Amino acid sequence: MLDEQAILDLVKSTDFESLPEAVELADFIKDSRVNGDHVTLQIMLPFPCDGVKLALADEIEAVIRKDWPQTNKIAVEIKSHVAAYETKAGVPPLAKIKNVIAVASGKGGVGKSTTSVNLALALAAEGAKVGILDADIYGPSVPIMLGIPDARPVSEDKKTILPLEAHNIQAMSIGFLVDEKQAMVWRGPMASSALQQIVRDTRWGELDYLIVDLPPGTGDIQLTLSQKIPVTAAVIVTTPQDLALADAKKAVTMFEKVKIPVMGVVENMSTHICSNCGHQEAIFGEGGGNILSEDYDMPLLGQLPLAMSIRQQLDEGKPAVADDPNSKISLTYREIARNLTANLSQLGKDYSKGADSIAIKTWSPSE
């Protein structure tokens, strides 16, 4: 005889490998049924999870079957629903965008744009609706990385602009609008207001996540942006080098100051993988991301190697995750994406942006 409560208790008390550490399955079981020798479970995870749905269902099935071998059919249905999480009071939310995630680094060249673009694509590969905003006004690189360097946004009403689409995500960049030399001479306040305008006047579609590739550093622009854009949470990109780490710490402190929760650290170029022999070497030292995450008590979301393919694919406008969403590197980005959004799902929900009301709200341009 199958005991529904005992089965539920077992599933609820098991740690599943394919689930990010931040979430407990017990919180997301929507329905359970036992009918004769059939077991049905319905699960609704709070983060996009297409990459682990099958593996998780298999894990759950195996756990049940081990204790109740007489079970005939076990049906585990896993879906995901992304909620809108609270942002700091005072910054008006973007009606169609549930969550804005800022990607920051203490200094340039650590792979912030590389991470932003692949993370955006990874979230889309996991099933989310995603946009990317290239806020690096002095060095926009998203247009090239997405393979649309010459694209120009269309304005249907002369007041708002439509985002571009590439590899299944929406994108907007200062690089689509002005040439680099023009942006280079803008001073901080001009750059920040140009960006705020782009954020507000872009007619984004309905998005679960908008990834914002912030300018490198922790100066005025970064601070203003994080205060003027309704940022839900931030991610810090660092390399294992000491210097980059010291800079990354400044980025952590900056977000603390503006009360934006940091969801974790991505360690980029953590080891070098030789394109010829596949040998891995920690040329910048080991464990930088770990040190940062321990010092500041924040999760290490994942580590990316320094790999020729990552750069080559970006230069060709087909980032790793767009090129092959199931390559080893892409799977790492997708795991980072799940860890990040699972952490995000632990924040307080913003009920004013409830999923249902979002669909019927009409977008209005900023004054």
Any idea what the Cα angle at residue 110 is, between residues 201 and 220, rounded to 5°?
50
Tokens of 234: 């931030």
Based on the shown chain and the rule CB under 5 A, indicate whether residue 239 belongs to the binding site for Mg ion: no
- From the list 80, 99, 113, 313, which residue makes contact with Mg ion (rule: CB under 5 A)? 113
Residue among 126 and 136 whose Cβ is closer to ligand ADP: 136
Determine if 341 is a binding residue for Mg ion (CB under 5 A): no
Strands 207-213, 233-238: pairing kind: unpaired
Element (H, E) at 75: strand 73-80
- Cβ closer to ligand ADP: 141 or 339? 141
CA distance 228 to 175: 20
Q: Minimum CB separation from ligand ADP for residue 17, in Å?
A: 25
* CA–CA gap between residue 165 and residue 171 (Å, rounded): 6
Write down how long the chain is: 367
The stretch near Mg ion (CB under 5 A) out of 40-48, 69-77, 131-139, 301-309 is 131-139
314 binds, among Mg ion, ligand ADP, none (CB under 5 to 8 A by kind): ligand ADP
Q: Give the interface size with Mg ion as a residue count (CB under 5 A).
A: 3
Neighbouring C-alpha atoms within 13 Å toward the C-beta of 225: 32
- Smallest distance, Å, CB 197 to ligand ADP? 22
In angstroms, the CA 178 to CA 289 distance is: 35
Binder of residue 111, out of ligand ADP, Mg ion, none (CB less than 5 to 8 A by kind): ligand ADP
Please say whether the beta carbons of 61 and 76 come within 8 A. yes
Binding of residue 115 to Mg ion (CB under 5 A): no
Q: What's the rounded Cα separation, in Å, for the pair 167 and 85?
A: 26
Q: Does 118 bind Mg ion (CB under 5 A)?
A: no
Q: Compute the least distance from the CB of residue 140 to ligand ADP, in Å.
A: 10
State yes or no: residue 116 binds Mg ion (CB under 5 A). Answer: no
Rounded least distance, CB 109 to ligand ADP, Å: 5
Which residues contribute to the site for Mg ion (CB under 5 A)?
113, 136, 141
